[in-house]
Chain A
């Protein structure tokens, strides 16, 4: 158990819909990262928050947004869903600003299926 909690574990929805994925980082971790994993694109970095502030954006679509709340949990919002958004979405946390000083702790992921 990494200590990172993601909900929901599975989500099935229709094209055009909007979903919210939630992540609770490990106790004390200030950094939260979101990754998308699909068969064709592999593991893609989406966005990084540190102590409530956005620190870096990766390959995140404009239809996607995220935020980190004062209690450090984070939410990833996916809107106007398309079939290609079907993927496994991971949240990871670390105690430091970046991965330079150590590892990322990953949650078990949220599997999104868009029909």
Chain B
């Protein structure tokens, strides 16, 4: 079963624009992670934000976490054609939820960045 759900399911933007993807989850978490997947390839870890953090940056990536709303957002600034991929949020269940230690992934946002 899905823990996280990304929104939108698909996003198409022009190069240079910012892309924002959202993730909502259902139960309490220890951390939330974002992964990227190029078509038909393995997933690659982008960033991890812990439940006691509100915002985290890594290069052109900015992740926010609102545990009161059980939601997270991933912002990619100044997007490039090479950012075209699917982006997934993943959560590991904390107390009272999920399977501890096992990441549960959402269905992903398919991002298309047009040159």
Contact at B43–A106, with CB atoms within 8 Å?
Answer: yes
A99 pairs with B101, CB closer than 8 A: yes
A 1-42 to B, binary, CB cutoff 8 A, 1 in contact else 0 = 010100000000000000000000000000101010000001
Interface centre among A4, A42, A48, A55 (most CB of B within 10 A): A42
Query: B100 at the A/B interface (Cβ < 8 Å)?
Result: yes
Interface size class of A (residues with CB under 8 A): 20 to 34
* Contact A104 B103, beta carbon cutoff 8 Å: yes
- Of the candidates B35, B40, B104, B107, the one whose C-beta lies within 8 Å of that of A88 is B40
A56 touches B99 (CB 8 A): yes
B92 touches A100 (CB 8 A): yes
The answer to whether A100 touches B104 (Cβ under 8 A) is no
Residue A103 at the chain B interface, CB threshold 8 Å:
yes
Known contacts A42-B2, A102-B48, A103-B45; A97 and B101 CB within 8 A of each other: yes
A36 nearest CB across to chain B (Å): 11
Q: Is A45 an interface residue (CB 8 A)?
A: yes
Tell me the number of A-to-B contacts counted with CB atoms below 8 Å. 73
Q: Is B33 an interface residue (CB 8 A)?
A: yes
Question: CA–CA, A33 to B82, complex, Å?
Answer: 28
Contact B108 A56 (CB under 8 A): no
Closest chain A residue, CB of each to CB of B48: A103
Give chain A residues whose Cβ lies under 8 Å from the Cβ of B33. Answer: 99, 103
- Check: B12 CB closer than 8 A to any chain A CB: no
Binding site for B on A (CB under 8 A): 2, 4, 31, 33, 35, 42-43, 45, 48, 55-56, 58-59, 88, 90, 92, 97-100, 102-109, 111
Other contacts beyond A48-B101, A106-B44, A108-B41: 16, CB < 8 A = A33-B103, A42-B105, A42-B108, A43-B105, A45-B104, A56-B99, A56-B102, A58-B102, A92-B43, A98-B92, A99-B102, A100-B100, A102-B48, A103-B48, A104-B103, A109-B42
